[in-house]
Amino acid sequence: MTIRKLSEKLAVGVLFSSSTVTTLAVLFIIFFLFRSGIGLFNDSSVEPHYTLVVHKNNPIDHLTSQALMAIFDGHTTNWSEVGGKDLPIELVTIDEIASQYDEAALGESLEGVPACVEDYMAHNEQAIGFFDATFVPADFSGKHLVLPKISLADFFLGRSWYPTAVPAAQFGVLPLVMGTLWVTFLAILIALPIGLIAAIYLSEIADERMRKVLKPVIELLAGIPSVVYGFFGLVVLVPFIQRLFGLPVGETALAGSLILAIMALPTIITIAEDAIRSTPVSLKEASLALGATHWQSIRLVILPYARSGIMAAFILGIGRAIGETMAVLMVTGNAAVMPSTFLEPVRTIPATIAAELGEAPFGGTHFKALFTLGIILFVITFLINTAVELIKPKKP
């Protein structure tokens, strides 16, 4: 075997190994993401090791997480509002028990707390208790409420995102999904036409000297850290939007969209410009020879030929916008509410993951919910890419 053939086989082996390792790494990441997120729907929205108890005569056997939140927030004050008797609801926690019984009853090491809980709940039919399970006696005479599970409907259609709410966390992702789509949609709506116009100018209109100046500057913009864009948005765009529209705050979906549009422009311009410049000179010359003007040649010959590359620029621009974290986190206001206009604060999925992952207990319900958000982001990106590929026209 000659040295040349050996070198070729070695190069093929290296390329094959690299592609295999890359593919396996991507598959492993996807598997880990789904494995960590899917387990969320086997968990209760109530904190682990805690329980909810009521009097034995209370007809209520279970409450949804939304009903529990309304009770503990004071919005629901009577059992009849949740299908029970016409009695006022009394919230009982370990602090209430400690205030009702003396130290002798509670015990030096709190060994008497279970008996105090039993006594208090037995004499208060209107009470609902939220305790650590160790503080409820094993032979408790009252009823343990069935703890609410996190359902698919509550998760995907819920409008409240309060992952640390007590006693039942709220994991409604609809505001986060809508915030992500709103910000990304407007950003691409701004960036795509501007990027395409700039690419046409650089490739077909600008002289070589101007192109040599502008192209490196545009490519340099792609290397600026996102936190710098975030600072720019916070110092310049946010006050400008606040003054322009007379808003109480300038951290809005519009501010996030403008920052994302600016960040996506270098990617869109660079890739689209390269695609347009790849059009064979013979096609341009043939168009001009047939009597077409320069603008007609651009519109009818060059752009149709380069449409695959332009679509690629569009896809990568969406990817840059939809996955951006830090800049969006700094300028959108981070309000997990359903958006109704672009002049309101919103919260996106990447910003939520970045802001909360460091505070979520490893392996807990909140931790799993953030991984499920990652799955949603992955699915959205996958669907957008697939849709663009399906509608993308073939190169002639």
Domains and CATH numbers, the chain: 50-155 (3.40.190.10), 174-391 (1.10.3720.10)
User: Which of 114, 162, 121 has the alpha carbon at shortest distance from 145?
Assistant: 121
pLDDT band of 38, cuts 50, 70, 90: confident
pLDDT band of 117, cuts 50, 70, 90: very high
Output the pLDDT for position 283: 87
Mean pLDDT, to the nearest integer, of 33-57?
88
Strand bridging mode 127-132 / 90-92: parallel
Number of other CB atoms surrounding residue 46 within 10 Å: 21
Output the pLDDT for position 393: 55
pLDDT band of 231, cuts 50, 70, 90: very high
Q: What is the CA radius of gyration of the chain?
A: 30
Which has the higher per-residue pLDDT, 4 or 334? 334
Amino acid of residue 360: A
Output the pLDDT for position 290: 85
CA distance 268 to 131: 55
181 Cβ partners below 8 Å, 6+ apart? 380
Q: How many CA atoms lie within 13 A of 121 on its CB side?
A: 30
pLDDT band of 396, cuts 50, 70, 90: very low
User: Which of 301, 312, 300 has the alpha carbon at shortest distance from 275?
Assistant: 312
Token duo for residue 204: 């077909």
Output the pLDDT for position 1: 57
User: Which of 204, 326, 218 has the alpha carbon at shortest distance from 264?
Assistant: 218
Mean pLDDT, to the nearest integer, of 177-203?
92
Mean pLDDT, to the nearest integer, of 266-284?
89
Under 8 Å between Cβ of 158 and 138: no
Q: Which of 202-211, 254-263, 297-306 has the highest mean pLDDT?
A: 254-263
- Round to the nearest angstrom and report the end-to-end CA distance of the chain: 43
Under 8 Å between Cβ of 101 and 110: no
CA distance 14 to 19: 9
Which has the higher per-residue pLDDT, 389 or 75? 75
Summarised one tens digit per residue, pLDDT across range 372-388 is: 999 998 888 888 777 76
Output the pLDDT for position 293: 86
Calculate ∠ Cα 345-386-270, nearest 5°: 70
Mean pLDDT, to the nearest integer, of 308-337?
86
Output the pLDDT for position 140: 92
Output the pLDDT for position 394: 53
Mean pLDDT, to the nearest integer, of 150-170?
89
Instruction: Point out the least confidently predicted range of 74-83, 136-145, 166-175, 285-294.
Output: 285-294
- The residues facing 181 across adjacent strands are none
Output the pLDDT for position 76: 94
Q: Give the rounded distance of the alpha carbon of 9 from its chain centre.
A: 45
Mean pLDDT, to the nearest integer, of 185-212?
90
Which has the higher per-residue pLDDT, 388 or 277? 277
Largest CA distance in the chain: 103
Instruction: Point out the least confidently predicted range of 107-116, 214-223, 361-370, 382-391.
Output: 382-391
CA distance 341 to 313: 28
Amino acid of residue 280: P
User: Which residue blocks in the chain are alpha helix, DSSP H?
Assistant: 3-38, 65-72, 94-100, 103-106, 113-122, 152-157, 174-200, 208-222, 226-232, 238-245, 253-277, 281-289, 294-297, 303-305, 307-322, 326-331, 349-356, 365-391
CA distance 231 to 241: 15
User: Which of 72, 66, 70, 67 has the alpha carbon at shortest distance from 83?
Assistant: 67
The pTM score is: 0.85
